[in-house]
Amino acid sequence: MRHLPEIKINSFQLAVLLDEVEKHFYNFVIDNLVFCAHCREIANEGVEVTEVCLSAMNDVRIRGRCRKCNGEVMRLFVFGGDEKFYARACRLRESIGFNVLSF
């Protein structure tokens, strides 16, 4: 699989990209399994997502804020290793004007 430039995507594009199982997993992790370094524990009140990116390997990286302390958090969802997800991510990149064949 190719390494592509990281790109920011919006919440609508993320919703189109994820299938139902991935959406459920994503939402569960955002609400229950993101570590906050400031609180030094899981952000048990959830995370306010401020940025979503497709990484160089078509994984999903989020940045946000802990809802308890407002500390910065980050989480990587390693979806890019799944061939079907990778193909959907490449189609999304192409639909927003990014030519994946040039990389």
The per-residue pLDDT for range 15-71, each reduced to its tens digit, is: 999 999 999 999 999 999 999 999 999 998 999 999 999 999 999 999 999 999 999
Q: Where are the beta strands (DSSP E) in the chain?
A: 7-9, 35-36, 41-42, 47-54, 60-66, 72-77
Q: pTM, whole model, 2 decimals?
A: 0.86
Lowest mean pLDDT among 73-77, 81-85, 96-100: 96-100
pLDDT at 97: 82
Backbone angles phi, psi at 17, to 5 degrees: -70, -40
List all residues 6 or more positions away from 37 whose beta carbon is below 8 Å from its beta carbon: 71, 73
The pLDDT, as a whole number, for residue 103 is 44
Q: What is the pLDDT of residues 13-25, one digit of tens each?
A: 999 999 999 999 9
